[in-house]
Amino acid sequence: MVGPARPLFVLFGSSIVQMSYDVGGWGAILADIYSRRADILVRGYFGWNSRRAVNVLDQVFPKDAAVKPSLVIVYFGGNDSMGPHPSGLGPHVPLPEYVENMRKIASHLKSLSDSTRIIFLSCPPVNETLINGSSSGIFSEIIRTNELCQQYSEACIKLCQEMNVPFVDLFTACQRKDDWRNACFTDGIHFSAEGSKVVVEEILKVLREADWKPSLHWKSMPIEFSEDSPDDLVAADGKTTLNPSSWTYYREIQWD
């Protein structure tokens, strides 16, 4: 570890989390937004479902850890929602089991500390045409439909409402964007740069509106080493310096 200590945010989920640090990915965007304010760690696992997540909860989030996360953003559901394979193999998890698995994840995270906050991301839609037309021959038949995605998304949201866990309704949020099927996804499933912007916008909205003390919205968090210094860049008047610690001019989007 290095200092000074910052609040720790953890992104926990399947490939949508693992790939979130790709160029333009939603995890990378959040890391930029929270630079000098919080450290963001990725615990993403390609192909995983909620069943596998439950099995490693104590390893990923040990209750005796010296440092507890301030925020955990959780995404599982896309792989769970895939249609069952006749062999019984594969990532499909029946809906009732999925709900109970997500309940276990939420309960475990809540037990870490009184100050650990949680946000669940619900299952987003998919581009069915692209998925069905891009079989590589490597996989057996993949059954992934928006009807199933919606069922798992709604079940996740219902659980969050029951357990008082803030959530992002990705199934609805993605579909607000024009031509969302092509704009939001690279392969019909995983987020493009445009889709990642939707994810970030919705997460920031939850953080902005949450009644958490201290607030975890980026604008409310202290900036590390933000004091003025004579070593900063010299202003046009030639007499003063300009403190760059909060500059955001380089960002494509000025996030709220």
Q: Is 14 a catalytic residue?
A: yes
- Residues 55-73 have pLDDT tens digits of 999 999 999 999 999 999 9
Residue 2 lies in a domain: no
Would strands 8-13 and 39-44 be described as parallel, antiparallel, or unpaired?
parallel
Residue 256 lies in a domain: no
- In this prediction, residues 249-256 reach a mean pLDDT of 96
- In this prediction, residues 144-153 reach a mean pLDDT of 96
Residue 109 lies in a domain: yes
pLDDT of residue 137: 63
Residue 251 lies in a domain: no
pLDDT of residue 136: 61
pLDDT of residue 88: 87
Cross-sheet strand order for the sheet of 39-44: 39-44, 8-13, 71-75, 117-121, 167-168
- Residues 210-230 have pLDDT tens digits of 999 999 999 999 999 999 999
Q: Is 64 a catalytic residue?
A: no
Model confidence at 15: pLDDT above 70: yes
Please report, for the domain that includes residue 93, its CATH number. Answer: 3.40.50.1110
- Residues 86-140 have pLDDT tens digits of 888 889 999 999 999 999 999 999 999 999 999 999 999 999 999 887 666 666 6
- Residues 70-79 have pLDDT tens digits of 999 999 999 9
In which band, very low, low, confident or very high, does the pLDDT at 142 lie, cut at 50, 70 and 90? confident
Residue 68 lies in a domain: yes
The domain in which residue 62 lies consists of: 8-226
What DSSP string describes 18-35? HGGGSTT-HHHHHHHHTT
Residue 253 lies in a domain: no
- Residues 153-212 have pLDDT tens digits of 999 999 999 999 999 999 999 999 999 999 999 999 999 999 999 999 999 999 999 999
| Single-letter amino acid code for the residue at 192 | S
Residue 236 lies in a domain: no
In which band, very low, low, confident or very high, does the pLDDT at 54 lie, cut at 50, 70 and 90? very high
* Catalytic annotation, pick one of 20, 39, 80, 190: 190
pLDDT of residue 241: 97
* Catalytic annotation, pick one of 187, 228, 229, 256: 187
Residue 233 lies in a domain: no
pLDDT of residue 135: 61
Q: What is the 8-class DSSP label of residue 220?
A: G
C-alpha dihedral over 13, 26, 205, 60, to 10 degrees?
30
Q: Is 190 a catalytic residue?
A: yes
Name the residue with tokens 């996740």.
156
Structural domains counted in the chain:
1
Is 0.85 surpassed by the pTM of this model? yes
